[in-house]
Amino acid sequence: MENPPAFAQVLIAWQQNHGRRDLPWQEWSQQRRDPYRIWLAEIMLQQTRVATVIPYYERFLARFPDLAALAAAPVDDVMVLWSGLGYYARARNLHHCARRIVEEHGGAFPLDVDVIAQLPGIGPSTAAAIAAFAFGTRSAILDGNVKRVLCRHFGVAGFPGSHPVEKRLWALARSLLPHQDMDIYTQALMDLGATVCVRKRPACDCCPLRRECVARREERVHELPAPRPKQPLPRRTTSVLLLLHGDRILLEQRPPAGIWGGLLALPEIEATTAPLAAQVAENYDCTVESVEPLAPLRHAFTHFQLEMRPLLCRVVPAGSQVREDRFRWLRLHEADKAALPAAVRKLLRQLARVTV
C-alpha cells in the first residue's frame, strides 16, 4: 500500500482546486459551521442524490431553521416537508433525534463521534462525516461512494456490502486518515466518488489517484466494486381505494413503522368473499355509488416491487365525522400538499386531472 499520508494529501490538494465548494450546507469557515445543518444534509443525502436533496434541504431549513425548532414541531409537519424524498424512516429518526438531543444534551449537538453514532438514524459513517465537518474530528467514513473509490483504488474484490469486504474497507479507510484537514479530506472522498469515480463511465483521466489505481492499471474499473449478488425482487400486489366524495378523498395515516410509516396513504382492501360495497360500508362508513377500476401503478422499493391496483369509488359518507382518527377527508388540491408517498401523490394528481 502507498504511504497513507500521500493518499490523503493528494485528495486534499485536489479538493481545494476541483472539489465541490458551493453546496448549500458547506461552510468553509470553522467558526461558522453549524452541526445541525451538517447533520440534516448528511441524513438527506443517505441514498439520495445531491440534486434531489438541495430543494428539500432549503425548504426544510426555511421551516425548521435550528434544532430546537425541529424538536418542537409535530412529526406530521416533518413528514409533510419530507414527502417525496423517500426512505421515510429518515424523517421519523430525524425528528426523534432532535428531541433526544434536546432532552439528553441540552439542545447542543454532542461532540463525541461515538455518542453521535448512537443517535437515531445516524450510524458510524454518518456520525464520522458530521464530526469531521462540524468539529474536525479524525474519524473514517465509509458510504457508498467511498466504498467504490477504495475498491477500485486498492483492487478490493467482492461485494462491498458483505461483512468480510466491508470489514476490510473499514480498516483501509481508517489507515488512510490524515492528521489534519479532516473536513477537506472527508469532502474530497465524497466528491471524488460523486463526480469522478462514478459507477458508470468514471472519468479516470481526471482522477488525482489514477497513477496508483489498481482497477485502472489492471483494466478492471468496470468490474469493481463487485455488484450485489442478483436476486429477483419479489412482487407484491395490493388494491387501494380512492374513496371520492365530491372533491374530497379519504386518506389513512400509516402506522409509524413499516412501508410509508407515518404518511397519509390510500386505504387498502384485501381480497375477500364480501362484496366491495359491504366492506366500504363496514370499514369506512360510506355508501358506494359507483366503482371504476383504474390503471395499475407500479412502484419500486429497495427490496420489492409494488403494484397498486386503484379502485375509484364514488361514495357518500354516513356522517360528517370519520369513525377513527387515522382517517382524514381532504380536498384533492389540499391532499397534494399533505405528507404523501410519491406513488400516492402521483395517483391523486392523475385523479385530479380526470375529475376536474
> Would you name the residues annotated as active-site residues?
42
Nearest to 349 by CA among 282, 249, 204: 249
Phi (first) and psi of residue 144, to 5 degrees: -60, -40
Residue 242 near residue 312, CB atoms below 8 Å: yes
Q: How far is CA 196 from CA 189, 204, 254, in A?
A: 10, 7, 40
Q: Apex CA 74: angle with CA 72 and CA 76, to 5°?
A: 150
Dist CA 124 CA 147 (whole Å): 14
C-alpha count within 13 angstroms, C-beta hemisphere, residue 157:
2
Q: Apex CA 121: angle with CA 120 and CA 122, to 5°?
A: 100
Which residue reads 441540552 in cell numbers?
Answer: 106
- CA 338, 300, 193, 123 dihedral sign is positive
Burial class (CB in 10 A: 0-12, 13-18, 19+), 38: buried
Dist CA 37 CA 19 (whole Å): 20
Which residue reads 500500500 in cell numbers?
Answer: 1
Dist CA 117 CA 243 (whole Å): 44
Residue 313 near residue 280, CB atoms below 8 Å: yes
Nearest to 72 by CA among 98, 91, 94, 44: 98
